[in-house]
Amino acid sequence: MPRKSWREALAAYASPATLALLLLGFAAGLPYMLVFSTLSVWLREAGVARETIGFASLIGLAYAFKWVWAPMLDQWRLPLLGKLGRRRSWLVLSQCLIAIGLLGMANYDPQTQLSSLIGLAVLVAFASATQDIAVDAYRLEIAEDNRQAALAAAYMAGYRVAALLATAGALYLAEGFGSTAKEYQFSAWTGTYLVFALLMLPGLITTLWMREPTAPVPTRAAPPKHGFLLQSLALLAVITLVISVPTMFIQFYQSDLMLMLRGDLTPHDLLYNDRAFLRAMLYTTLTCISVSGLAWGGLAPVLKTATERYGFFHQLLSVLLLIILLISVPAMFAQFYDSDLHLVWQGQLSLQDLLYYDRAFLRALLYSVLTALSISSLFWGGMAPVLTPVNDFIVRYRWQALLLLALIATYRLSDTVMGVMANVFYIDQGFTKEQIASVSKLFGLIMTLLGAGVGGLLIVRFGIMPILLIGAAASAATNLLFMLLVNMGPHLPMLTLTISADNFSAGLATSAFVAYLSSLTNLKFSATQYALLSSIMLLLPRLIGGYSGVMVEKLGYAQFFLATAVMGIPTLILIVIQWRRDKRQGNGDTPTAAAQPTADALKS
């Protein structure tokens, strides 16, 4: 990519798309915090138990698994709202659901209606994750690769400001309205969440104002040959099967059928007095009716996929199957571990007793059936809509995909692992909460945004790969400043310097990395591939970060910070290797395989 002048680089921030991403980032940052840290404070003030608050944090799984339903945003346009375009229609829907969810949360007191409040928080989380998918896809499709960092910097600025407003700002509002740790006032939190529901309006207005990006060539090969009614019946039959099969086995297990088979109970008493057996018969009937669809072709819309690539119902089925697979596989192993199967192998328990009395073993068998059914969908194409974007990435990059995935998985390793223990380190060093809040949160936010802005400017001027390398090196090197701070005690100037350098490098690295990830995606699957790649980005750092406390206990803070700095070295090596490969292939910025689909999609 030829270098551009500084004037051209600065012009990247003057486009309408940059303003749109700034406001969309603001809309994305509000709900994320309102269903996490701010909600936790609300629940605690209301007297909710810590254990319950901890379980409520599982709402965050919606963000971790947003890639599961991302294919639907790539391949299906919403009815009615679809007139706005593929990306804007999903944005309007998600933003409206977020506002409705926040309005609903404002009307439920956790002291008396906790379940309803959590249910609405789940709605907000899923709608917010969907909004994130749509915003990322919009950003990828609205501008070329070298402008992605500038757009990401604008998005990050809006997001961080909204996050600060939804945390510290929300707490100030709630206290100003009359709710404190000593005296809880539900009306104060009602007013707070109503204010933030109204603050979703700028994002909604932005979505209606901005232009829809040019859509890439669709993946549908031919129009569906099955009518809407048949597709609806097919999907209903599949959902019925998913629910009725496991419930049928559970009800049979809870019934007295075994007593009748042993002769201890008459069939008459079983039919008239055993409600579990009657429910089992009902679910058996539903299962038979649904399975019968295989005979008369009622399941054809979800089984015959050669011509439907891919209708809404096929996409919804593939998402459903993937969710079942993600749940059933770990549950299957957990239940087998809890069962007494090992006693059967040791000869201490008969197989009959295992089947009759070990509920964990029966649950393991149930999850095994669900796993087998989901995996079998690979052969008849049921999971094709969620696997096609993955296959596209592998086909385009082939063995080079392993190098790219390794780079993605390790790029944020150094600063993410260190960041887990950062606040704990500040406290252990003797800094006050006021010092941490003013330097780490407020001043750190300013430096992060400054780093992201400078990163976007430098990428337009010099290209992605040089700044990607500088960002990775700076993120690892700044961890050494924390190592120097260890022996200095609560030295405020050094804390300010350390946090300034760390946050500036993090902002620079993030903007470069977002631009790089954006260059790897095929615009035909932009939502899915970006959601997958960004999930891979945080997977390894979060897993290793879970052991950061153990590392500090064994190594001490100084050696821990040194170890996290060393973790950045493999990333630097991978970047150099990839950069050299790109130069040999005649493209000094991004992998050649990604450049062609992106350019073609922009031309269309």
Under a CB-based contact definition with an 8 Å cutoff, are residues 392 and 525 in contact?
yes
* 10 band by pLDDT with thresholds 50, 70 and 90: low
Q: How many residues does the chain have?
A: 604
Each residue's pLDDT tens digit, 474-493? 999 999 999 999 988 888 88
Structure confidence at residue 325 (pLDDT) = 67
Under a CB-based contact definition with an 8 Å cutoff, are residues 455 and 149 in contact?
yes
Prior bond of 283 cis (ω within 30°): no
Q: Is the pLDDT of residue 563 over 50?
A: yes
Per the listing, tokens 């390794």 go with 406
Q: Which long-range contacts (CB under 8 A, 24 or more apart) does 276-281 make?
A: 276/251, 276/252, 277/251, 277/252, 279/247, 279/251, 280/248, 280/251, 280/252, 280/255
Rounded to whole angstroms, the maximal C-alpha distance in the chain is 90
> Residue 529: how many CB atoms within 10 A of its CB?
28
Arithmetic mean of pLDDT, 419-446: 77
Arithmetic mean of pLDDT, 566-585: 87
* More confident call, 241 vs 553: 553
Structure confidence at residue 308 (pLDDT) = 42
Among candidates 172, 210, 203, 207, which has minimal Cα distance to 98? 203
Q: Is the pLDDT of residue 18 over 70?
A: yes
* 199 band by pLDDT with thresholds 50, 70 and 90: very high
Phi/psi at 381 (nearest 5 deg)? 85, 15
Under a CB-based contact definition with an 8 Å cutoff, are residues 223 and 290 in contact?
no
Structure confidence at residue 103 (pLDDT) = 94
The top-level CATH class assigned to 6-209 is mainly alpha
Where exactly are the structural domains of the chain?
Answer: 6-209, 228-382, 391-603
Structure confidence at residue 306 (pLDDT) = 35
Arithmetic mean of pLDDT, 567-574: 91
The reported pTM is 0.61
Under a CB-based contact definition with an 8 Å cutoff, are residues 575 and 465 in contact?
yes
C-alpha span between 62 and 129 (Å, rounded): 7
* 263 band by pLDDT with thresholds 50, 70 and 90: confident
Under a CB-based contact definition with an 8 Å cutoff, are residues 131 and 95 in contact?
yes
Arithmetic mean of pLDDT, 149-161: 80
Q: How deeply is 233 buried, as exposed, middle or buried, from its count of CB atoms within 10 A (0-12, 13-18, 19+)?
A: middle
SS3 per residue for 516-547 = HHHHHCCHHHHHHHHHHHHHHHHHHHHHHHCC
Arithmetic mean of pLDDT, 312-328: 63
The CB-side HSE value for 260 (13 A sphere, CA atoms) comes to 15
Superfamily of the domain at 391-603? MFS general substrate transporter like domains (1.20.1250.20)
Per the listing, tokens 């946050």 go with 503
Structure confidence at residue 320 (pLDDT) = 63
Structure confidence at residue 604 (pLDDT) = 31
Q: How deeply is 1 buried, as exposed, middle or buried, from its count of CB atoms within 10 A (0-12, 13-18, 19+)?
A: middle
